[in-house]
Amino acid sequence: MKDAERRAARAAYKERKSVSGVYAVRCAPCGEVWVGQTRDVEKIWNRIVFSLRGKVIRHRTMQAAWDSHGAEAFDFEVLERLEDEALDFALRSALDERTAVWRERLKAEAI
């Protein structure tokens, strides 16, 4: 890849819109469900897997399930995508509200 192509690819990556949302991580064998929120639903699963593999995730129950059942037992699902709000605090409030609804609905632990 030439310098100009590399610069163009980098600029395109920085300009892309991220999509905020609420997501669930499930471990089928143990029945555990974890629900969280993120500013970028396209990247969060990779971040979680990386943390679990490195054993640096803060959620002990998730790490224990990962260690017991392995990566194949886990599923990731985006539960809800939120359009970016004009104001940062409005987006945070909407994410908090929707995350609470999904945690209650799924009887899930917080991520």
Q: Note the pTM of the prediction, 2 decimals.
A: 0.84
Strands annotated E in the chain: 20-27, 32-38, 74-82, 109-110
Q: Kindly give, in sequence order, each residue whose CB lies less than 8 Å from that of residue 18, ignoring residues fewer than 6 positions away.
A: 39, 40, 42, 43, 84
Domains of the chain (ranges; CATH) run 18-110 (3.40.1440.10)
Over residues 70-97, the pLDDT tens digits come to: 999 999 999 999 876 656 778 889 999 9
What average pLDDT does the structure give for the chain?
A: 91
